[in-house]
Structure 1
Amino acid sequence: MIEVWVDGSCFPQGDGSLRLGWGVLVKKNGVEIHRDKGNDIPQAAMNHRNVAGEILAILKAIKWCQSQGITEITIYFDYQGLESWATGAWRTKLPFTQAYAQAVNESGITIHWVKVKAHSGNPENDLVDQLAKEGARGK
């Protein structure tokens, strides 16, 4: 079983700009096999704040899973839109969320979605939250 944990982070700066980041943790049968973080959020997506980071985390995780030949995953997330846009439960109104939903649905990966409560002491969710913060800070 492949579990993917994702999160995003947003730090408003004094000059009005935003620093955004994303974090990913992948586990196979309970053992960590991959982790990543970054801040390569497209400029056009900055208005989505931390949600942009969460979307990027899923897209990065999908790309990594594709490169490993992984075809079925469970994604653990804390923002409902991630699942709802991908499944069509919520309409995607903006180009960034439209592109996200299309990429998820055309990925060739079967995705099971599990919503977790943010900042609730879940070790994996806390870890990806920290990775996303580090990514936003460029660490």
Structure 2
Amino acid sequence: MLFNTRILIAGIPFAESEGTIVYTDGACFNNGQKGATAGVGVYWGPHHKDNVSRSLDGRQTNNRAEIHAAIIAIEQAKSKNIDKLVLYTDSEFLINSITKWIDGWKRRDWKLSTGKPVINKEDFEELDKALEGINVKWVYVRGHCGNPGNEAADRLANEGARSNVNGK
């Protein structure tokens, strides 16, 4: 089965067959509202010991959950000496932020092109630091379209959000 995907790279390009695949997702119930609860999901494969489902600390938003799921996956990969990671996500915001916009934000002292501050500055600084020493091929996969890895990461993220007591 084919899935709608788009690829962008942070680091040195490499063939997908040379990389290790991981799926990440973030979830947030009541996003943008009082009482929001968010969680992250990282999916390496069926019954994999490194799959992650956890609540998100701090400000509870879907975008932050997406960013932190990627950070967790990248840090896990680096701890296993993986230097080429193929990271599948359904967050175009995350991919565009890290492959297209972040260099401009840094040049403008973490300001958007409109002059307003980048809302998730600290989260993106953490992600940018995590990316040091690893090549990541960012692959956009449309969410909720039956991609098994994306669906598994989504389930893990939702479980993490359901378990979250920080946002209540």
TM-score (norm 2): 0.68
Q: Which residue in the other structure is 1:57 paired with? A: 69
Once the two structures are aligned, what percentage of the paired residues are identical?
A: 29
- The answer (yes or no) to whether the contact 2:71–2:127 under 8 Å persists in 1 is no
Task: Determine which structure has more spread, i.e. the larger CA radius of gyration.
Answer: 2
- The answer (yes or no) to whether the contact 1:59–1:103 under 8 Å persists in 2 is no
Q: Which residue in the other structure is 1:37 paired with? A: 53
SS of the aligned residue for 1:5 comes to strand
Q: 1:115 aligns with which of 116, 136, 140?
A: 140
- The answer (yes or no) to whether the contact 1:5–1:125 under 8 Å persists in 2 is yes
SS of the aligned residue for 2:40 comes to strand
* 1:24 equivalent in alignment to 2:42: yes
Q: Which residue in the other structure is 2:81 paired with? A: 69
Runs in 1 of length 4+ with deviation above 6 angstroms? Answer: none
- The answer (yes or no) to whether the contact 1:22–1:54 under 8 Å persists in 2 is yes
Structure 1 residue 99: Cα displacement: 1.5
User: Within 5 A, what are the aligned runs for 1:6-21?
Assistant: 6-12=24-30, 16-21=34-39
Larger relative helix fraction: 1
Whole-Å Cα distance in 2 between the matches of residues 83 and 105 of structure 1?
A: 13
Larger relative contact order (Cα-Cα within 8 Å, sequence gap ≥ 6):
2
TM-score (norm 1): 0.81
Structure 1 residue 54: Cα displacement: 1.0
Larger relative strand fraction: 1
Q: Deviations over 1:47-77 (max 9, x none)?
A: xx21211111100111111111111110101
Which segments of 5 or more consecutive residues in structure 1 lack a partner in the other structure?
Answer: none
State the Cα RMSD in Å. Answer: 2.5
- The answer (yes or no) to whether the contact 1:7–1:78 under 8 Å persists in 2 is yes
